[in-house]
A and B are shown apart, each in its own frame.
Chain A
Amino acid sequence: MIKFWNKRAKLGVITEKPELEESLKKIRKEIKESVKKHFAGSLAIRMVDSGSCNACEAECNALSNPYFDLERLGIYFVASPRHADVMLLSGVMTFNMTPHVKEAYAQIPSPKWVISVGDCPMMQAPYERTYAINAPVTEHLQVTHHIAGCPPNPLEIMEGLLEFLRKI
């Protein structure tokens, strides 16, 4: 264990690497303030995959890696829709997932918002319509903000969250 602490002391904080643009710093500050204003310091997000390819989930997971470290800004991914303010929705809304997505949405206490992430929910990813796809999601839920990309990278997701916070 002592080896680990030595290594950690040597490595220091890597989160704000200079290779990430200055804008990241600015966004972080803005998000922090906005979260404080609208959500009393913490914005709780329930991520729901309605039939994605998993790349969008991987990018949302990447938000928690030491380079991005989203949680410092007061934005959390929570385990239950009942703890959430916002549903972050990825995927093409498959026939099999549609009732479960609606149920998850119903379980979020009001006021609540839906943010769609990736091109899938808007049916803009290369997938095409089949019997098993119910996208676009706007036919089923009211979407407040859309974060485009296939997949959007973590920085774009952060920017997207910021734009959402500006909207409401």
Chain B
Amino acid sequence: MRFIARFCKEKSECFEIITIYDEHSEKEEISKENPSIKTITKKNPAGIWFERKMHDDFGIIIKDAFDKRPLVHQERFPKDIHPLRKDFTQHKLQEAPYLPYKYEEIRGDGVFQVAVGPIHAGIIEPGHFQFSQAGENMLHLEVRHFYTHKGIEKMLEGKRLEDAKPIIERISGNESIAYQICYRDIYLQATKQELPLSLQKRHALLLEIERTIHHLTDVGFIPNDAGFGAALSFASKLSEEARRKMRELTGHRFGFGAVSFENSFIDIDGFNEWLNDLEKSLDFFEDWIMDIPSLWDRFDTTGILSLKQAVKYASVGVVARASGIKIDRRANPFYLEHGFRMVNEESGDVGARFKVRLGELKNSIEMMRHFLEEDDTVLEVAKICDGEYQSFCESSMGELFMSIDIKDGVIERFFARDPSFMNWQAVHIMMQKDIIADFPLINKSCDLSYAGNDL
């Protein structure tokens, strides 16, 4: 039974704690006077961030939790406020006195701490990494995030579903299409409509372009972090070309606003030409990169996440597949008919994650050929009905989960669990056998989102 998410909803009489597993979900009602629940982290360690977040957002006490530190609320966050409660309406917070955060640290003779972040050396998002070091060896790492926390869950409350779209598609720029597809599925559930096959194919095409862009960027950046810059030049050229294709097709380089219920013109020949070129370039790239021993010296056996640990931490996406777990939200009849095949590796190291990405790139090209079709279907949308809706999508990082409750025609509660939210919690395990100089490489090989994680 794979753990997926755990979150809270405020009802008029009580709090509802929803726990989602792959095969079923559980609902627990707790009183508002003294809201407390039992932890699930003994079985599902990745539950801890969900529970700490629940405490910050709603003030739910986790009775037997081993970690009760705040998660989203950082040092200067006003104490004892719970912004996701319905009676909280402030739009501006005053900074509270600085209260230091107690990092998980290993202490001992000669052990020292290295603090990295929140602002990093490269052009990337903010997050903090706290290392306990014995010389070069990493003894422990704590990943600390939520610097880019924007309060999106609160922002969307009270909005009509249509008005929420521009915000939802900007939760994580690299996964915009995936978020839009999750949104689309919820929209269709709420209007009780079926999606015509041709629209489904077009949206799937966009999702694969997004994956292609993201994977291409990664297969360049991962070798770059091992000191092999030529790969970055090569792959970033390809990813720029893919981005321009996205632009040509949707009018936006990241596909913001692209998933709609109206199919538009597509230049099939031009698209096929691009796919053929990309395929050739990738074959060349693979042939070249696999043949560089000094690079694979760095990749192999670095940053291992074993199958056992990946299962324990309920990892998803590329990270899970590189450790031998066979999960992918695309493993369904629609995708299988259009050429999908699961790409798996066993070793769970940087090299495995790199190879999964290369394999998925090739598979994406194959699928895109199947999804291509000229079509101008338009779906007239019906009226939105109140209800509680959930959806999933496989973004370029992994399984994305979204839940939207609609009451009186507006959003009552929005929750999204980015794939990164699961995988960040397993990153510290990957570090345990390596030296600190390998950290950027390991981190890049997972390439997780901060914005999507922090909401």
Contacts and interface: CB of A to CB of B under 8 A. Distances in A.
Interface string A20-56: 0000000000000000000000000001111111111
B124 A49 contact: yes
Contacts of B254: 55, 58, 151
Interface stretch (A108-116, A121-129, A160-168): A121-129
Given A128-B167, A130-B151, A96 B237 contact: no
Residue of B166, B173, B237, B288 ringed by the most chain A CB atoms within 10 A: B173
Contact of B167 (A4, A64, A127): A127
Interface in B270-303: 284, 287-288, 291-292
B451 A52 contact: yes
Contact of B124 (A1, A57, A96): A57
11 contacts: A49-B148, A54-B172, A57-B123, A58-B174, A58-B254, A60-B123, A62-B243, A96-B149, A100-B147, A128-B155, A133-B150
B93 interface: yes
B91 interface: yes
A77 B176 CA distance: 26
A126 B171 CA distance: 11
B237 A80 contact: no
A144 interface: no
A138 to B, nearest CB: 16
Interface residues of B, number: 54
Interface of B: 74, 76-77, 83, 88, 90-93, 95, 118-119, 121-126, 146-152, 154-155, 166-167, 170-174, 176, 217, 230, 233, 236-237, 239-240, 243, 253-254, 256, 284, 287-288, 291-292, 449-451
Q: Interface extent on A, as a size class?
A: 35 or more
Contacts of A56: 173
A66 B232 CA distance: 10
A91 B119 CA distance: 13
A65 B244 CA distance: 13
A150 interface: yes
Residue of B122, B123, B288 ringed by the most chain A CB atoms within 10 A: B123
Residue of A48, A59, A97, A131 ringed by the most chain B CB atoms within 10 A: A131
A126 B147 contact: no
A64 B172 contact: no
B91 A3 contact: no
Nearest to B156: A128
Contacts, number: 149
A64 B125 contact: no
A16 to B, nearest CB: 13
Nearest to B90: A131
B148 A3 contact: no
Contact of B230 (A4, A14, A53, A80): A4
Q: Is the interface of A mostly helix, strand, loop or mixed?
A: loop
A46 to B, nearest CB: 9
Contacts of B126: 49-51, 97, 100
A97 B176 CA distance: 23
B150 A130 contact: yes
Contacts of A1: 291-292
Given A125-B170, A131-B91, A52 B148 contact: yes
Given A53-B171, A132-B93, A133-B151, 14 more contacts: A49-B119, A52-B173, A54-B173, A55-B170, A57-B125, A62-B243, A94-B147, A95-B93, A96-B149, A100-B126, A127-B150, A127-B167, A130-B154, A153-B253
Nearest to B124: A57
B287 A3 contact: yes
Contacts of B172: 53-54
Contacts of B167: 126-128
A96 B240 contact: no
Given A67-B237, A127-B155, A55 B92 contact: no
A126 B147 CA distance: 20
Contact of B233 (A59, A60, A66): A66
Contacts of B151: 130-133
Contacts of B154: 130-132
Given A54-B125, A91-B148, A132-B83, A96 B236 contact: no
A88 to B, nearest CB: 9
A104 B118 CA distance: 11
Contacts of A158: none
A141 interface: no
A106 interface: no
A68 to B, nearest CB: 8
Given A52-B148, A94-B150, A126 B292 contact: no
A100 B148 contact: no
Contacts of A49: 119, 124-126, 148
B240 A62 contact: yes
A96 B449 contact: no
A92 interface: yes
Nearest to A48: B119
Nearest to B450: A54
Contacts of A99: 76, 95
Contacts of B176: 53, 55
A99 B93 CA distance: 13
A51 B123 contact: no
B91 A130 contact: yes
A64 B76 CA distance: 36
Contacts of A54: 125, 172-174, 449-451
A129 B156 CA distance: 11
A77 B121 CA distance: 9
B123 A65 contact: no
